[in-house]
Amino acid sequence: MKNMLWYQSLNKPIFTPPDWLFAPVWTMLYILMGISLFLFIKSRTKHEKTLPLVLFFIQLGLNLGWTTVFFKYQQIHTAMVISIVLLILVLLTIQQFYKVSKVAAYLLVPYAIWLWIAAYLSIEIVRLNP
């Protein structure tokens, strides 16, 4: 695949996770996101749910868009910005979910940690590939 060859040719930081790790990690994160969303929606609370749901679906759209921007269009600078915005949105989503369902919020913490790593990797990829 042409895009994977391009990715392999990039200078990456030494702490870049091995390629085989991405699929299982993202699978687990999407499962946790789904459970979190389910618990949030099913929660019986008087708190407003509109803003948290908007944040959740915006970050989900950015998450899906990042792959296209990075791999298809090979726009590493734009992908870096998306990864930083994505992390911020997920942290805001966690904050909002916490008001309704603490468990739903905690289930998003591994996602936030992975996004922090991804954002740092994106910054380093931009730095190493001027």
pLDDT over threshold 70, residue 12: yes
**pLDDT tens across 54-75, in order?**
999 999 999 999 999 999 999 9
**Cβ atoms of residues 114 and 29 within 8 Å:** yes
Over residues 90-125, the pLDDT tens digits come to: 999 999 999 999 999 999 999 999 999 999 999 999
Q: pLDDT tens digits, residue range 17-35?
A: 999 999 999 999 999 999 9
pLDDT given at position 24: 98
Going from N- to C-terminal start, the domains of the chain cover 20-128
